[in-house]
Amino acid sequence: MNRNKSTEQRLGIEWDKNNLLNNYLFNILTQFGAALVSFFIVWTITRYSGTEILAVTVAVTAGSQAAVLFCNWTSIAVIRLGGEEYINTHGISFIFSARTVILLFNIAALILLYPLWNNFLTSLLKIPGDTGPYLLCQFVLMSILSHFTAGLQAVKLLRLQGVLLLLEKGISLVIILLVYFFFNISWQNIMVAYLIAVAVSCICSFFLLRKYFLFRIERKHLKQVLYFSFPLLPYGITAFLSTNYLDTFFISNYLERNDLGIYSVAYQFYGVWSQLPTILGGLMMPMFLSYLVRNHLHVVERFLKESMHIVVLIWTMLSAILAFALCIIIPEAFNINHPQLNSILIIFILGTAFLIPNFIGFNPYILARKVVFFAFPLTIITAGLNLLGNFLLIPKYGLIGSTYSTILSMLTGFIATYFFLTYYFRVNAIRCVMSLAPALLGILLCFWISNILVILGSVLFSALLLLFLYRNNFESVIGFLKNSLHTRSIV
């Protein structure tokens, strides 16, 4: 693999540190642009075709995602093993090629079994029988795009992920607007728009990534990818039960189709807000890996123990402010009148605080240490709670029951990961546990109180109080930021 100046610059810790802030801000901007486009798409569909058309497209996407999960159990190997190969050899030929073969085998197997799982999904989701071809096409394209996205992350082309997402959403919007002006909006036309957009993103990803790999298959690298990924196979199978797509199945069966459309609107905003820590986690992983390769992991552990709880508290305050704004704007903008809408929005937005420690700290650290066996028992626990919660709460409490089930699953995931980190790696981040109290308070108040000012005011007050108590830790946060973003030495 040829080594050029750009590749040389991205190999070490210095590039990760010096570009962390720029990469994060760039990806936030592209994510924000993609979010605006997505909101306009959802607004167009709900405003001019109703929430039922939106509900069908959400259900079809949920079905295709269920199939994608069976193929993506080896994708993390590209990020972790491919990232290490890139640092050492300046390319990802062996790992990426090995995972390509495994992915194609998985796709072929699911295509052969298509008649079985298609009938099952369409019946379970209560969607039209002719959605099958759309399910199949979306599953194949999304699996391929996920593969290329993992490759881009492995070679540290982190900004391109946001650009491709914005491109995909933009193409979808253009096609949907053309359909609106010249045809009638239907779920079929919307799905075609989505498929074209994903196909274009796949083609662009291939051309962006092709100079970093040559197709080279060696048995030892196939074994390496499989050995690394096999503990994640059960995780890939059960992970679906930890996602909002499980909510889609239960809402489709227990509630009205219109309820699924309303829930998907609220989840759209939750998804965008949760993308911010997701993006940051994607940027932290290469940096953590570089620290590990250079034997400076103590810097990461100090961040987990002395700084991350401050980030959680600040995030909680921002989430409370955002939740208040959404409760005012969404009912008017989307013409939705539902008694549980405000509670759903508050629970979802505040619940993202439970993701912060895992996304930007715990998970990148565990993955950098090549510990993957924990993923399966963790998923069993969170998936089981989500499944049981949906089964018990949705019939009794409706949409708010589904929301509580999702948040309970996330909170349990944090608690389990915290104890694993404490006892397996001897890294105790107890302050992160305390920092989640304000978000938990607001979520619990939603069950008894409908006044959003009282709920969110309580969250802000308690978060400010904890920030005051932890005021001495601001110096640690500032020190980590200086070390990661500005200096050229590792403390």
Handedness of CA 124, 128, 129, 134 (dihedral sign): negative
Q: Do 430 and 421 contact (CB within 8 A), yes or no?
A: no
pLDDT at 442: 95
pLDDT at 16: 57
pLDDT at 131: 82
> What's the token pair of residue 7?
């590749």
Could you report the per-residue pLDDT of 454-483, keeping only the tens digit for each? Answer: 999 999 999 999 999 888 877 666 666 666
**Same domain, yes or no: 237 and 267:** no
pLDDT at 484: 56
Domain end residue (candidates: 178, 209, 242) = 242
- pLDDT surpasses 50 at 98: yes
pLDDT at 462: 96
> What's the token pair of residue 458?
């309580």
**Same domain, yes or no: 80 and 194:** yes
pLDDT at 256: 80
Mean pLDDT for 62-83 is 80
Measured distance CA(359)–CA(353) in Å, rounded: 10
C-alpha closest to that of 312 among 273, 360, 268: 360
**Same domain, yes or no: 232 and 302:** no
Measured distance CA(433)–CA(232) in Å, rounded: 27
Task: Name which residue leads in pLDDT, 87 or 166.
Answer: 166
Mean pLDDT for 386-411 is 90
Residue 312: pLDDT band (50, 70, 90) is very high
Measured distance CA(131)–CA(59) in Å, rounded: 10
Q: Which CB contacts under 8 angstroms, 24+ apart, belong to 24-28?
A: 24/279, 24/280, 24/283, 26/159, 26/162, 27/158, 27/159, 27/161, 27/162, 27/279, 27/282, 27/283, 28/276, 28/279
Residue 49: pLDDT band (50, 70, 90) is confident
pLDDT at 46: 77
Measured distance CA(403)–CA(345) in Å, rounded: 9
Instruction: Please give the C-alpha separations between residue 53 and each of 26, 57, 138, 262, in angstroms, as whole numbers.
Output: 33, 7, 18, 11
Give the whole-number percent of the chain exceeding pLDDT 70.
88
**Same domain, yes or no: 335 and 439:** yes
| Residue 326, domain member (yes or no) | yes
| Residue 386, domain member (yes or no) | yes
Measured distance CA(342)–CA(325) in Å, rounded: 10
**Same domain, yes or no: 131 and 257:** no
Measured distance CA(268)–CA(485) in Å, rounded: 32
**Same domain, yes or no: 173 and 309:** no
Give me the count of residues in the chain.
491
pLDDT at 242: 59
**Same domain, yes or no: 351 and 424:** yes
pLDDT at 489: 37
| Residue 247, domain member (yes or no) | no
Domain end residue (candidates: 213, 242, 271) = 242
pLDDT at 490: 37
* 17 Cα distance to chain centroid: 23
Of 40-54, 135-149, 191-205, the least confident: 40-54
**Same domain, yes or no: 278 and 157:** no
| Residue 149, domain member (yes or no) | yes
Helix, coil or strand: residue 235: helix
pLDDT at 234: 66
Handedness of CA 225, 229, 233, 236 (dihedral sign): negative
pLDDT at 486: 45
Measured distance CA(161)–CA(26) in Å, rounded: 10
Q: Do 62 and 125 contact (CB within 8 A), yes or no?
A: yes
**Domain, as residue range, for 51:** 1-242
Residue 197: pLDDT band (50, 70, 90) is very high
- pLDDT surpasses 70 at 363: yes
Helix, coil or strand: residue 155: coil
Mean pLDDT for 271-277 is 83
| Residue 248, domain member (yes or no) | no
Measured distance CA(139)–CA(150) in Å, rounded: 17
Instruction: Please give the C-alpha separations between residue 69 and each of 64, 290, 361, in angstroms, as whole numbers.
Output: 9, 28, 24
| Residue 435, domain member (yes or no) | yes
- pLDDT surpasses 90 at 319: yes
**Same domain, yes or no: 226 and 266:** no
Residue 30: pLDDT band (50, 70, 90) is confident
**Same domain, yes or no: 133 and 46:** yes
Residue 100: pLDDT band (50, 70, 90) is very high
- pLDDT surpasses 90 at 6: no
Residue 453: pLDDT band (50, 70, 90) is very high
Mean pLDDT taken over the chain = 82
pLDDT at 321: 96
Of 187-201, 235-249, 415-429, the least confident: 235-249
**Same domain, yes or no: 376 and 292:** yes
Per-position DSSP letters for 19-47, written without gaps between them: HHHHHHHHHHHHHHHHHHHHHHHHHHHHH
**Same domain, yes or no: 229 and 270:** no
pLDDT at 419: 93
Please count the structural domains in the chain: 2
| CB neighbours of residue 124 within 10 Å | 17
Per-position DSSP letters for 384-444, written without gaps between them: HHHHHHHHHHHHHHTHHHHHHHHHHHHHHHHHHHHHHHHHHS----HHHHHHTHHHHHHHH
Domain end residue (candidates: 215, 242, 269) = 242
Contacts of residue 324, Cβ cutoff 8 Å, sequence gap at least 6: 452, 453, 456
pLDDT at 210: 87
Of 22-26, 248-252, 400-404, the least confident: 22-26
Mean pLDDT for 269-280 is 83
- pLDDT surpasses 70 at 143: yes
pLDDT at 491: 36
| Residue 217, domain member (yes or no) | yes
Could you report the per-residue pLDDT of 149-177, keeping only the tens digit for each? Answer: 989 888 877 778 778 888 998 999 999 99
pLDDT at 303: 83
Measured distance CA(13)–CA(151) in Å, rounded: 19
| Residue 395, domain member (yes or no) | yes
- pLDDT surpasses 60 at 126: yes
